[in-house]
Amino acid sequence: MPQKIHIEIDRELCTGCGICIRFCPKDVLGESGTLNQYGNFYTEVKKLEECIVCRQCELYCPDFAISVEVKE
């Protein structure tokens, strides 16, 4: 069975710092241009199909806002 990847970004926890965008080797992530309730532009998933599940984004996120889930 192929992998099913799901990337969850908690919009309220994400501060839009852009660190995950910088450290993603595959340009999966990008700015949403939308504000959350704390006034931060949260990040969103742009190219899910490119994701190689390296988990670099999770490792660098200061706010534990991003989660990469894989379902077999």
Partner 1 sequence: MITGKELREKYIRNQPTAFCPGCGDGMVLNGMSRAVENLGIERKDIVAVSGIGCAAWVVSPYWRVDTLHTTHGRAIPHAIGVKVGNKDLNVVVVSGDGDCVGIGGNHLIHACRNNIDLTVIMINNGLYAMTGGQVAPTTEHGEKTITTPYGNPSQGMDVAELVKAAGASHVARWTTYHMRELTKEVEYALEKKGLSFIEVITQCPTRTGKKDNLSTLEMLEWYKNNTSKNPEDGKITVGRSVDKERPEMADVIYEQIISAGGTLK
Helix (H, G, I), strand (E, B) or coil at 50: helix
Compose the 1-40 pattern: x for residues touching partner 1 by CB under 8 A, - for all others. -------x---xx-xxxxx--x---------------x-x
Coil, strand or helix at 48: helix
Residue 10 C-alpha from the chain's centroid: 9
- The C-alpha atoms of residue 30 and residue 41 are separated, in whole angstroms, by 11
**Which part of the chain contacts partner 1 (CB under 8 A), choosing from 24-32, 43-51, 59-67?**
59-67
By CB under 8 A, name the binding residues for partner 1: 8, 12-13, 15-19, 22, 38, 40, 55, 57-69
